[in-house]
Structure 1
Amino acid sequence: MKKSCFFYRKKKYSLVQNGVITKKSPSNIALIKYWGKQKNKIQIPSNSSISYSLEKVYTETRLIYHLREKKKRSIKIFFSGKENTSFLPKILEFFHRISLYCSYLRDFNFVIETKNTFPHSSGIASSASSMSALALCIMEIEKKLVSSLEEDFFLRKASFLARFGSGSACRSIYPGLVVWGGHKSIKGSNNLYAIPYPYKIHPIFTKMGDTILVIDEYPKKILSSKGHQLMIHNPYAKERFKCANKNMDRLISILKMGDLQEFGELIEHEALTLHAMIMTSHPYFLWMKPNTLHVLYKVWDFRKQSKKNIYFTLDAGANVHLLYPIQEIVSIRKWIYSDLFSYCKKIIESFCQ
């Protein structure tokens, strides 16, 4: 039996009253990047990935549901207090994809009210936090219908559902280091939902500082979903997938031993490889901005001169995540504000949980 079969919820249910559920879910920053989906499959990654969930960078979603009296479904979406119809097609597609596993959703109409602590669609994984928050809300409905629902199943299915809205959203269900995508060296890893990283982690990596430099706060002109599609015909895609899986093996050792320099070299290499794939797609494009490059060079120079453990990573956008051990937080954050503030629109302080 396929793993997905365990998540079927075919029986129809009825609630005697309407309800409101509120959930928060974090954004995440990938260390080993997910970039590229298996052809003709829905949100199945071409390589395994691992991310940190971010403590202060999150989406808060309020889901209002009430029993349908008419056949036509009604879903309204409000973002930061204003109705936003541009998000509706993605939400409708999400509900369609998960209907097989959550048949009870057909009995309700919904109002979705959502807000972020950071700019959306700018390369800080807003789809990850928003879709995972919505998946958690939906699972709370299921929990009301199925009193015997266990916590482990609740979270696994929430991750499974979130994946249909945004691949990286499945990793935002859990705190800490989270793995998605089957990998021979990680027990329990699979393509259908994420799992908490199951192996030993050196104390230096259990909580790290993460400063996000918002270089460009406007929505990206080319969304990540389009970038994933372009990997299908990228001439370097197959080698990239092999490289990512090899880097996962390398990271397992690094996380166990606590080697910060090896960690930094690996995550920077992963970040630049991601953008190399973007630049070698057809059509090719750039998400980095001039100030992105200024920041990267500044980080390299500062690290060489100060011997501080500060490293960058990038998601699919222009903005820069700076990761560093909390033991060095005071001096590093002082340098960030004195030397990097002029290159960005704003600075967001967070922690890797």
Structure 2
Amino acid sequence: MTPKDFIPIQEPKMISSGKVTWQSPSNIALVKYWGKKENQIPANPSISFTLNHCKSTTTLKFKKRKKTDDFAFNFFFEGKEKEDFKPKIEKFFERIESYCPYLKEYEFEIYSENSFPHSSGIASSASGMSAIALCLMSLEKELFPEIEEEYFNKKASFLARLGSGSASRSIAGGLVVWGTHENIEGSSDLFGEQFPYKVNKIFKNYQDTILLVDKGEKQVSSTVGHDLMHGHPFAAQRFQQAHDNLSKLVNVLESGDTSEFIKIVESEALSLHAMMMSSQPYFILMKPNTLEIINKIWVFRKETGIPVCFTLDAGANVHVLYPEDQKDNVLEFIKNELVVYCQNGQYICDQVGSGAKIL
């Protein structure tokens, strides 16, 4: 598919007003995307677990109006109007207007809330922007009733990507690939696709306990971090590493080889942060407690043989990944040895989920 495929060519129905609510999850990348080209195209492919409990619930109210040159919308977060988030939505609307030409014919009220603490370092842009994209697609489905489910989901992911790259991976459930990869059929830079090959049952309900090491705002945003990959001395090698690791994961996900899974996932997390530490300007998003947790996980894994590992997003918090049948053992370990490194002792228990749903 090409971007042109997402431009409506039919005559829309007349829809005067309405309301729709979508719930969309966050996700955690196993192979990381870091660095992007124009129009939110990833510099390398990535794959993520869609989460289950960490999600945004978004309601879109829309009312027909006379078309003007401006977008008309208000945004409310957890019941309060949030002016500081409006520029991000404005930019999102500008990026998607050619694919959603009806945007300026409606005034919108957007109400959003998260199931996880605000500024907890969980990717709220992924869940939030994908939820808005899905709400807009529900309006589009009313305008163009002949839209089929496959097209609906692809375009929702396509639009979400233009709001936040990782949001493209929050539509489908389970394992989602975003970015063209020669060994993964159907993979695309334009939208996320559910991983198309066999997945061992051990990875279908994998657990993710998120340790909230630092809930403060990052000193460097992900957008700035991505831009620093332009001219980065190790960019080409990093992009190739991501391709190679995704190739390896195809076999690992089918076989259920947790040992190889751990090597790839932890290497990816550390490579992501190595890129930050070697960019110009350089920066460090890990905190001392991040490193303490990583070392504790390594010792615990060596002493017990339990296949628990970590991954990191672009921040200080640690995602602890492990099979469901080790849940009791790992949660005991977290309570006894890792909670002390969490801000206010906070952590969130999550697991692989089934994707976004309409309410």
TM-score by length of 1: 0.96
Corresponding residue to 2:186 among 188, 198, 205: 188
TM-superposed CA distance for 1:124, in Å, is 1.8
Distance in 1 between residues matched to 2:216 and 2:59, nearest whole Å: 24
Q: Which structure 2 residues correspond to residues 53-72 of structure 1 after superposition, within 5 A?
A: 53-69=50-66, 71=68, 72=70
Corresponding residue to 2:113 among 109, 112, 115: 115
TM-superposed CA distance for 1:248, in Å, is 0.6
Question: SS state of the match for residue 233, structure 1?
Answer: coil
TM-superposed CA distance for 1:119, in Å, is 3.6
TM-superposed CA distance for 1:15, in Å, is 3.8
Q: Which structure 2 residues correspond to residues 253-272 of structure 1 after superposition, within 5 A?
A: 253-272=251-270
Q: Is the 8 A contact 1:120 1:219 kept in 2?
A: no
Question: SS state of the match for residue 244, structure 1?
Answer: helix
Distance in 1 between residues matched to 2:191 and 2:221, nearest whole Å: 23
Aligned sequence identity (%)? 48
Question: Which amino acid counterpart does residue 325 of structure 1 have in structure 2?
Answer: P
Distance in 1 between residues matched to 2:15 and 2:271, nearest whole Å: 53
- Residue deviations 1:248-278, cap 9 Å, x none? 1111111111100110111000000000001
- Residue deviations 1:191-242, cap 9 Å, x none? 0011100001111111111100011112222110110001102111110000
Partner of 1:24: 23
Q: Which structure 2 residues correspond to residues 11-50 of structure 1 after superposition, within 5 A?
A: 13=12, 15-38=14-37, 41-50=38-47
Partner of 1:291: 289
Partner of 2:356: none
Distance in 1 between residues matched to 2:33 and 2:183, nearest whole Å: 17
Partner of 2:357: none
Question: SS state of the match for residue 185, structure 1?
Answer: coil
TM-superposed CA distance for 1:13, in Å, is 3.8
Gaps of 5+ in 1: none
Distance 1:97 1:121, change over 3 A: farther
Question: SS state of the match for residue 173, structure 1?
Answer: coil
RMSD between aligned residues: 1.4
TM-score by length of 2: 0.95
- Residue deviations 1:260-306, cap 9 Å, x none? 01101110000000000011111111111111111111101111111
Distance 1:70 1:247, change over 3 A: closer
Question: SS state of the match for residue 21, structure 2?
Answer: strand
Q: Is the 8 A contact 2:10 2:144 kept in 1?
A: no
Q: Which structure 2 residues correspond to residues 1-353 of structure 1 after superposition, within 5 A?
A: 3-10=2-9, 13=12, 15-38=14-37, 41-69=38-66, 71=68, 72-120=70-118, 122-345=120-343, 346-353=346-353
Distance in 1 between residues matched to 2:171 and 2:50, nearest whole Å: 9
Question: SS state of the match for residue 112, structure 2?
Answer: strand
TM-superposed CA distance for 1:73, in Å, is 3.1
Distance in 1 between residues matched to 2:321 and 2:186, nearest whole Å: 27
Q: Is the 8 A contact 1:211 1:347 kept in 2?
A: yes
- Residue deviations 1:60-106, cap 9 Å, x none? 11111111247343211111111111111110111011111111112
TM-superposed CA distance for 1:14, in Å, is 5.9
Gaps of 5+ in 2: 354-359
Q: Number of residues paired by the alignment?
A: 350
TM-superposed CA distance for 1:120, in Å, is 4.2
Distance 1:37 1:122, change over 3 A: farther
